[in-house]
Amino acid sequence: MAEPLSQVVASMPRRRFVALMALFLGPAVAVYTLFSIWPLLATMGLATYASDASGGYRFVGFANFISLFGDAVWSKPFWNALTNNLIFFAVHMLVQNPIGVVLAGLLSLPGLKLKGLYRTLIFLPTMLSVVIVGFSWNLILSPLWGVAQGALKAVGLGAWFAPWLGLPSTALVTLALISVWQFVGIPMMLIYAALLNIPDELVDAARVDGLGHLRIFLHIKLPLVLPTIGLVSILTFVGNFNAFDLIYSVKGALAGPNFASDILGTFFYRTFFGNQLQLGNPTMGAAVATAMFFIILAGVCLYLFLVQRRMRRYAF
């Protein structure tokens, strides 16, 4: 993009240029600012207020945040939600990404037949609504229907079965695995695309050098797609900390059992809108949202400074 500005454009009268830019950039910037950036800033501003007796708002500075992090009424669910979110994220990183890498690696093997069919099928769950996915799995795993139980029994693992979604100890991880099931298509496709980008001659050179397929994957292909895996990781992070739909669909706003599956998204929703147990509290909700924003921001900055700097995108 370092080419000189066209003479026609450079010699345009300033007023016309500004009008032109306003035409092209105006709509996008306006909508984006009005409905993305401004609400975010307004929310952060709102977080510094609290409702008073008359129903209006008064400025309270960081009081909401102090309550959020320290006051037992708010901080207990907050830290619970945050911890759960981290577990949620960990499961994705440990299960989703390796599976995505392996599937992408298998699909990128040269000469594989039916490649398109496999890709289409594996990506199918990603297209579905989370509501559908959540509910379907809820049914399948439900002891009432017995499908999962029957399937496990068929392979001799019947004793393993438990109403995982209903137990506080396993609900969160089960939901995380359902989310992995749905979304593994995305890292798979991104890594697959990156693997395709590796020139064939490089693989040929490695074959001539004496490497078998597995070694080629581990020593040549994998290091070259690490930047993509990094990208996938940060997208997973942002997505996980934004997650709400799945938990809500399966467990409702209360994210049971006993808040075991509560993550920041559901906590935010509950705080803002209220539910059977509490009234909606917009200012605290705003505080939660602000906290979420900074957590996500921290993660992204960490990624950009630590990971991005080390990883080089290789041009071929």
Partner 1 sequence: MANLRVAGLHKSFGSAKVLSDIDLDIADGEFVVLVGPSGCGKSTLLRMIAGLDAPSAGDIFIGGKLVTALAPAERKIAMVFQSYALYPHMNVRKNMTFGLKFTGVAPAERARRVAEAARMLRLEALLDRYPRDLSGGQRQRVAIGRAIVREPAVFLFDEPLSNLDAALRISTRVEIARLHRLLRATIIYVTHDQIEAMTLADRIAVMSQGRIEQAGKPLDLYYAPANLFVAGFIGSPAMNFFPAEVESVAGGEARLSGAAMAPLVLPADGLAKGAKLTVGVRPEHLTLADEEGFAAEGVVELVERLGEASFAYVRRADDKMMVVEVRGRETPEPGRTATFRAPARELHLFDTEGRRIKGAG
Partner 2 sequence: MLAARARVAAVHAVLIAYCALAIGPILLVVMNSFKARNAIFGAPLAPPSAATFSLIGYEKVFRASHVGVYFANSLIVTLVSMALVLLFGAMAAWALTEYRFRGSTALALYLSIGIMVPIRLGSVAILTMMRSAGLNDTLTALILVYIAQGLPMSIFILSEFIQQIPRDLRDAARCDGVPETRIFFEVIAPLLRPAIATVAVFTIVPIWNDLWFPLILTSSDTTHTITLGVQQFLGQYITDWNSVLAALSMAILPVVAIYVVFSRQLISGLTAGAVK
Binding site for partner 1 (CB under 8 A): 199, 201-202, 204-211, 215, 219-220, 223-224, 312, 314-316
**By the 8 A CB rule, do 257 and 167 touch?**
yes
Closest distance of CB 315 from partner 1, Å = 7
Q: Which residues face 279 on adjacent strands?
A: 274
CB of 105 to partner 1, least distance (A): 17
d(C-alpha 268, C-alpha 42), whole Å = 16
- Let me know if 271 is exposed, middle or buried by CB neighbors in 10 A (0-12, 13-18, 19+): buried
Q: Could you say which of partner 2, partner 1, none residue 17 binds, taking C-beta under 5 to 8 angstroms by partner kind? A: partner 2
For residue 203, the minimal CB distance to partner 1 (Å) is 9
- Nearest residue to 268 (alpha-carbon basis) of 280, 285, 254, 282: 285
Rounded-to-integer distance, Cα 227 and Cα 233, Å? 10
Whichever of 59 and 316 has its CB closer to partner 1, that residue is 316
Q: Phi then psi for 57, rounded to 5 degrees?
A: -115, 140
Q: Cβ 215 to partner 1, closest distance in Å?
A: 7
Per-residue tokens: 250: 């399966």
Q: Which is nearer to partner 2, 78 or 241 (CB)?
A: 241
Q: Which is nearer to partner 1, 78 or 217 (CB)?
A: 217
Binding partner at 69 among partner 2, partner 1, none, C-beta below 5 to 8 Å by kind: none
Q: Which does 202 bind (CB under 5 to 8 A by kind): partner 1, partner 2, none?
A: partner 1
In this structure, which amino acid lies at residue 182?
Q
Q: Between residues 90 and 128, which has the closer beta carbon with respect to partner 2?
A: 128
CB of 243 to partner 1, least distance (A): 34
40 binds, among partner 1, partner 2, none (CB under 5 to 8 A by kind): partner 2
DSSP H helices, 92-199, are 97-107, 115-127, 130-141, 147-154, 171-183, 185-196
Residue 316 touches which of partner 1, partner 2, none (CB < 5 to 8 A by kind)? partner 1
